[in-house]
Amino acid sequence: MGTMNWGIFWAFSLQNAIDAVPGESPLFVDYPGKKTPLAKEYLRVIPATGSGPTGKDDLLFQNLLAAEWAIYSFYQIGVESFTPSNFTRLGWPKSTYDRMVQIRDNEAGHVRIFQEQISNNSIKPGPCKYEYGFGGNPKSWLVLQTYLEVASMAFLTGLSNQADLNVSKSALMAIGQVESRHNAWSLIDVWNTSPFSGPSDTIYPYANQILDLTNNFIVSDSCPSENPVYPSPRQNLPQIEFYSNGTTARPGSDLQFAYKDPKNVPTFNDDKEYWAVFYHGVQKESVRYNPKENRVRIPPFDLDSGIIIVNIAEEKGAPTEDSVVAGPLIILEQPGILTKDISSV
């Protein structure tokens, strides 16, 4: 009888998903089903219904919503692709799948929160089709999950600089707190490592450059035609990775860069100086970069936990967004077993 009652409860909840409120509805907390908790009305582009001035932070939340579609869809596909036994057979805790489902619920709630933050005078972007490359492999899915949660923290931190309204800054902080818990679960239960990155997560000032990395998961020409450019404004910078052979990718070690897309590489001027700018916690260090050698040494940061973010800039310290000519690259320092598994070739 108990199981039947829960089935009736969730069936009723899904039928009324259009009225579900993030922070109040259990659909965004602990709904256990494989079917999406989002009503179909929210799984599409929502056109502007007004003609007045746009909200002060509409652009910010349009960018965030487009990024959230990529993250939510990653979890939704994972929920649909796997079962609890896929993880327990490989030695992970019995709770792994359940936590994945709960995070999916949270991310669905983020979709709704961001949709509501965009005024009715602006379009609310819809989802694209995505390909994540984990190929049905639960370990590969968990590796990418860790990377996505870290990237989420990196762009949420930077986006606070773009917000005009205090309420928007508070919303970004509140969402960041939840993403931090998701990452802490991954570090503790999945990778059996410390969740502490030190006194500060890494600050990267140019959030749209981090957001642009999620375009790697979008299937070409699959986004709704009504969607605005993502992220806006978009620099479409050359993306960098590093050769994993011959490096530990830890502080003090050498990196040799590579470019992900041979058709999108920076043009270097022989008369200019270039810098590899490294961000770790609240620290920022610039290292002279010779494009012909294409090799730099990671500064010897005191901590080798959390993440390191690096870009290539034409000015020391990358003082402006336009001074960045390639990147950013996110180097995962924690857990150490994944340091070279992500963003390397």
The helix (run of H) or strand (run of E) holding residue 258 is strand 254-259
Average pLDDT estimate for 36-55:
94
Residue 8 clears pLDDT 50, i.e. is over it: no
Cα separation values, 131 from 128, 144, 203, 217, Å: 10, 12, 28, 5
Left if phi > 0, otherwise alpha if psi is -120 to 50, otherwise beta: which for 252? left
CB of 121 within 8 A of CB of 46?
Answer: no
Residue 5 clears pLDDT 60, i.e. is over it: no
Average pLDDT estimate for 62-84:
97
Whether omega before 233 lies within 30 degrees of 0, making that bond cis, reads: yes
Residue 1: pLDDT band with limits 50, 70, 90 = very low
The per-residue pLDDT for range 265-292, each reduced to its tens digit, is 999 999 999 999 999 999 999 999 999 9
Residue labelled with tokens 């219904």: 49
The helix (run of H) or strand (run of E) holding residue 241 is strand 240-242
Say whether 309 sits in a helix, a strand or coil.
strand
Q: What is the mean pLDDT of the chain?
A: 91
Annotate 55-118 with DSSP letters as a single string. Answer: PTTHHHHHHHHHHHHHHHHHHHHHHHH--HHHHHTTT--TTHHHHHHHHHHHHHHHHHHHHHHS
Task: Quote the distance between the C-alpha of residue 69 and its chain's center.
Answer: 10
Residue 7 clears pLDDT 70, i.e. is over it: no
Residue 4 clears pLDDT 60, i.e. is over it: no
Average pLDDT estimate for 233-248:
93
Say whether 214 sits in a helix, a strand or coil.
helix
Question: Quick one: pLDDT at residue 302?
Answer: 87
Residue 12: pLDDT band with limits 50, 70, 90 = very low
Residue 9: pLDDT band with limits 50, 70, 90 = very low
pTM of the model as a whole: 0.93
Helix, strand, coil percent content, the chain, rounded in steps of 5: 40, 15, 45
% of the chain surpassing 70 pLDDT: 93
The per-residue pLDDT for range 228-239, each reduced to its tens digit, is 999 999 999 999
- The residues pairing with 285 across neighbouring beta strands, listed in sequence order, are 278
Average pLDDT estimate for 183-199:
92
The per-residue pLDDT for range 153-182, each reduced to its tens digit, is 888 888 988 999 999 999 999 999 999 999
Question: Quick one: pLDDT at residue 188?
Answer: 95
Residue 2 clears pLDDT 80, i.e. is over it: no
Domains of the chain: 9-217 (1.20.1260), 240-338 (2.60.40)
Residue 224 clears pLDDT 60, i.e. is over it: yes
Nearest-angstrom CA–CA distance, 185 and 179: 10
Question: Quick one: pLDDT at residue 10?
Answer: 47
Nearest-angstrom CA–CA distance, 271 and 259: 22
Residue 116 clears pLDDT 80, i.e. is over it: yes
Q: How many CA atoms lie within 13 A of 287 on its CB side?
A: 21
Nearest-angstrom CA–CA distance, 170 and 184: 21
Strands 274-280 and 283-289: antiparallel
CB of 331 within 8 A of CB of 306?
Answer: no
Q: Which amino acid is at 122?
A: S
Residue 136 clears pLDDT 50, i.e. is over it: yes
- Helical residues (DSSP H) of 118-215, grouped into ranges: 138-159, 166-185, 207-211
